[in-house]
Amino acid sequence: ACNGKLSTLQKSCQAAKQAISICTQTYEQAQTKAPAEVTVSSYEEVPTINMLWTARLLH
């Protein structure tokens, strides 16, 4: 049981790391493209940035 949980954790951790790196890239691109439009109070709010940009790309 423990092994199964561990592999699941490792997978979700990898997915989270990938998501963070994608968000970081998006954030950096956003800053270079439109610094005035991107207002972020702290870098910890990466998921928020991701949601904002996803929403923006969909519209």
At 42, is the pLDDT very low, low, confident or very high (cuts 50, 70, 90)? very low
User: Does residue 51 or residue 43 have the better pLDDT?
Assistant: 51
Domain edges within the chain:
2-58
Tokens representing 37 are 């439009």
The answer to whether the pTM exceeds 0.95 is no
Tokens representing 49 are 């940035």
What is the rounded distance in angstroms from the CA atom of residue 4 to the CA atom of residue 2? 5
Position 51 scores a pLDDT of 61
- Coil, helix or strand at residue 1: coil
What is the Cβ-side half-sphere exposure of residue 16, based on CA atoms within 13 angstroms? Answer: 6
What is the rounded distance in angstroms from the CA atom of residue 45 to the CA atom of residue 57? 18
Position 50 scores a pLDDT of 62
Residue 55: pLDDT over 80? no
